[in-house]
Amino acid sequence: MPYSEYCPELMGTAVLTPAGDCEAGSMQTFTLVYTAGRFGIDDTGSLKIGFRFATDFGPVQFEDAEGQGYTTAEASNGALLELKWEFKRNIRPWSRSLYIGVMKHFLAPNDTITVRFGDRRFGSPGIRVQTYCESQFQFRVLVDAIATYDYVALPVSPSIAVVPGPGIHWRAILPTQVRANDGFRLAIKAEDKWGNPSNQAERILTLVPSVSVAGLPQTAQLVAGQFTLVLDGLSAAPGVLTCEVRDETGNLLTTSNPMEIVTADACTVHFWGDTHGQSDETLGTNSARDYFAFGRDKAFLDVMGHQGNDFQMTGAFWKELNGLTAEFDRPGQFVCIPGYEWSANTAVGGDRNVHYRHEGETIHRSSHAQILAPEDAHDHATDAYSAQDLFAKLADKDCVVMAHVGGRYADITFAHDGRLETAVEVHSAWGTFDWILSDAFEKGYRVGVVANSDGHKGRPGACYPGASFFGSYGGLTCFIAPRLDRDAIFACMRRRHHYATTGNRMLLDVRVRSRSQATLFHRDPAMFENAATERAHELRMGDIAQLRDDEVDLDILLIGSAPIERVEIMDGDEVVEIVRPYGPEDLGARVRMVYEGAEYRGRARTTTWDGGLAIDGNAIVRTAVINNWNLDRGIQRQNASSIAWKAVTTGNHGGIDLWLRDGLNGRISFETRLVRGSREIAALGIERHIFSAGGLKRGLKLYRLPEQMTERRMTIRRRMRLREIGDSRYFVRVWQEDGHRAWSSPIYLFR
C-alpha cells in the first residue's frame, strides 16, 4: 500500500472489543484502544481508522449523543482530540476514515486513545455493522506520529467477522432455458434482511412444480449451517416450468423464476452471467477465490468474470487471478473469464471491461497509480493511457471489451473500436444508464446490451446495494449460446447474442423474420471488410443483416419473473409502440408514482427524492414500495391521507404504489426537493403524467395500474417497415410490476 513504511513496529498497537463474529446490519458498540508506540504522537499528529470504500458501516457522527453511530474518543492524558468522519480523504481502498487529531498537547509512549463507535453511555442505540458479510472486516489503524501527515499502518489492525443474520427472504432459482434431454437443477436459499445468504434457515420445504418434474421430491430439508439446497438431476418434458416453495403449513415462501424446456435439438439455450465485479485485492470485499465461489455456489451463475481496477492490480495478483479463472473454469458446468477493468479517467476514455479468452495475456493498465511494488516497475511501457491506446494494444488480442458506467463512465463518443468493443453496460449496482446506448445509436455504432453488478460487496450475481451510496441491485446478462464453454460464450459476446436485466431472470426472446433470405454477417461489416456471412430467414437479438425486403416481422416472447407492466418496442431511440397486457378498462383504484433519473453522468449522479404526498377527497388503503433496496429508506410515515418517504435514484427508478378507497375521486398532491405537483385522480390513466425535474432524464411520473396484475407471459408480433437509409435497430425494453427491467440487444438491419 502507498503509505509510509517507516518503522511500523514502533507506531503502537490497537485492540478492539468485542471481537469475533458480528451479525451483518446489527447494532453494536465497538471500543478500540490505541496505545502509542516508541515515538508517542506529537502535537497536531493524528490517527486515522480506515474502512474499505464500499462499506456501509455507520454512520459515524459526533453531535447527537442519543443518535445512531455516536462516536467518542478520549486520550488517557487528557489531550484535546479533534474528530472528523471523512470519505475519500484517505488512500483507497481505505477511503472512509475516522480522523483523530491530537490538539494542544501530545501523547507519550504508552498513552492511549480510547475510541467508542456507537457509544451507548449517553443513550445511543449503537452503530450499525456493515450490511454484507466479510471474513475480515478491518478497523485499519494508521498513525501520523511525527505530525508530518505521512501515515504508517500498524503491522496488525483489529478486525471482526461479519456474518449473516437469520434467513427471512426465500429464493428459488432454475435455469432459464434448457433442452429436453438435459438435466437441470433447482437451487433454494434463504437470505437475511440485507440480502446475505443465510445459514440460519432450518426448514422442511414443500416443492410444488407447475408441470411434472422427474427426480423432484415432494419435500426437501434445508438444515442449520447450510447456505443452499441444490436438487440436481431433474428433467421435464418441453414446456414452461415454475416451482413454488412452501413451508410445512403450506404458506408460500417463494416462486422460482420461469424456465422453458425446449426441444432436444434446439440450437441454443440461455446462460446467466455477471462478468464484472471486484474482490479485496483491489476495491471489493473478500478474496478473489471467495468471489468466484459465491457467484458459482450462492448466486448460481453460469458465467463469471473478475474486473479489478487496473491501477491497483499488481503483477502478482494478475498471475493469481489467471490461476483462479483456469481453476474455476469447467466447460459444460461453469465459465470463468480472466480480465480486468481498464480504469482511466473519463477525459481519456473512461472505464472499459477487458475480457480475455485465455489466461496468460498482458494486462495493459491505464496507469500504475497505486502499484509501487519494485517487481512491477518494469512494465510501464505496456500501459495504455487513453482508450485509443488501449484499443491499439488490444488489436491483435483474443479479447472482448465492454463499455462500463461506474464511478467513471465510458465516453464512447471519445473512443470506440467496434472490432473489440461489442457491448455497452446499461445497468449495474451504480444505476441504470440507457443514455450510453443512445450515445452508440447517435454515433452509428452496432453494439449489444449487457448488465452486471460491478459488485464491491462480495456478492456477484446477487448484489444488493446495502445502505451506502450504491443505488440499485446489480444486473445480470443472459447469454444465448449453443453450450456452456468459453469458446461459445466469446462467440456469443462477439455477435451480441445476449440481453440485460436489472438482476431478475426473465426469459426474453426477440427475433426478426423476413420473407426473402437476408445476408447475415458474423461480424460487423462496417468493421470487418471480409466478414463471414450466411443466408437466413430468421435473425436473433444482436444480429446484423442486409435485406431486400421493405418489411419484416418482429416476434417477441417474454416470460417475466413477475407480472409484466409494459413492453416498449424500440427502433434506436424511437419508441415505436408501448404494449401492455391490460387496457384502460382494467384500471382500478391503484396509483403508481415513479421517480427516476440522475443528477448527471458522473460520480455525483445520486438524486435524492425524499418527499411526501397527500390525498384529498379519497383515502389510502395500503401502499407498496418498488426498487427500495435500502431498509433505511422507503415509507417513513403513513396514514389514510398522506405518506412521507425517503428514496434515491442513480439513473434507475423507484416508486410507490397507492391502493385508494376508490379510483376516481379526489386529488393527489406531492412535493419533493426537486419537483412538486398535483393531479385530479380521475385525470390519471394508463399514460404517465410526467413532472420533469431537470438533470439527466430525471422526473416524477403518476399513472394508474390494475389493482392486481397476473400476466407474466406475452407473445407479440409486429410488422416493421425498415428505414430507407441506415440501420433499423429493433430491440425491446421490458418493465415488470416489481420494478425490474430488461433490455434485448438490438437487431441491426439495413437495406
Indicate if the pLDDT at residue 549 is higher than 80: yes
CATH number of 508-581+710-751: 2.60.40
Cis peptide before 59 (omega within 30 of 0): yes
Residue 2 is predicted with a pLDDT of: 65
Name the pLDDT band for 377 (thresholds 50, 70, 90): confident
- Contact criterion met (CB below 8 Å) for 732 and 570: yes
Collapsed DSSP state (helix, strand, coil) of residue 442:
helix
Residue 375 is predicted with a pLDDT of: 86
215 dihedral zone (left: phi>0; alpha: psi -120 to 50; beta): left
Residue 374 is predicted with a pLDDT of: 84
Name residue, grid cell 437509409. 725
Residue 1 is predicted with a pLDDT of: 53
Name the pLDDT band for 378 (thresholds 50, 70, 90): confident
pLDDT tens for 670-728 read 999 999 999 999 999 999 999 999 999 999 999 999 999 999 999 999 999 999 999 99
Indicate if the pLDDT at residue 613 is higher than 80: yes
First CA to last CA across the chain, in angstroms?
A: 57
Strands 533-540 and 544-546: unpaired
Sheet with 159-163: list strands edge to edge: 21-23, 159-163, 134-138
Name the pLDDT band for 663 (thresholds 50, 70, 90): confident
Dist. CA 354–CA 338, nearest whole Å: 9
225 dihedral zone (left: phi>0; alpha: psi -120 to 50; beta): left
Average pLDDT over residues 129-145: 97
Name the pLDDT band for 3 (thresholds 50, 70, 90): confident
CATH architecture assignment, domain 270-503? Alpha-Beta Barrel (3.20)
Task: Output the average pLDDT for the chain.
Answer: 96
Nearest in space to 688 (alpha carbons), one of 569, 583, 594:
594
Average pLDDT over residues 60-68: 98
Residue 610 is predicted with a pLDDT of: 97
Residue type, 359: E
Strands 71-75 and 335-337: unpaired
Average pLDDT over residues 358-371: 96
Which helix (H) or strand (E) element contains residue 295? Answer: helix 288-297
In words, the CATH class of domain 8-163 is: mainly beta
pLDDT tens for 150-187 read 999 999 999 999 999 999 999 999 999 999 989 999 99
User: For the range 98-102, what are the long-range contacts, defined as Cβ-Cβ under 8 Å and sequence gap of 24 or more?
Assistant: 98/48, 98/49, 98/60, 98/71, 99/46, 99/47, 99/48, 100/46, 100/47, 100/48, 100/49, 100/73, 101/44, 101/45, 101/46, 102/41, 102/42, 102/43, 102/44, 102/45, 102/46, 102/75
Collapsed DSSP state (helix, strand, coil) of residue 667:
strand
pLDDT tens for 38-48 read 999 999 999 99
DSSP secondary structure string, 354-393? EEESSSSPPP--S--TT---GGGGGGGGG---SHHHHHHH
- The torsion angles phi and psi of 216, rounded to 5 degrees, stand at -90, 120
* Cell numbers linked to 140: 485499519
pLDDT tens for 217-274 read 999 999 999 999 999 999 999 999 999 999 999 999 999 999 999 999 999 999 999 9
Dist. CA 675–CA 695, nearest whole Å: 12
pLDDT tens for 443-463 read 999 999 999 999 999 999 999
Residue intervals of the chain classified under CATH 2.60.40.1510 are: 8-163
Dist. CA 283–CA 277, nearest whole Å: 9
The fold for domain 169-264 equals Immunoglobulin-like (2.60.40)
Residue 407 is predicted with a pLDDT of: 84
Name the pLDDT band for 88 (thresholds 50, 70, 90): confident
Residue 429 is predicted with a pLDDT of: 94
Dist. CA 421–CA 383, nearest whole Å: 19
Residue intervals of the chain classified under CATH 3.20.20.140 are: 270-503
Name residue, grid cell 446484423. 544
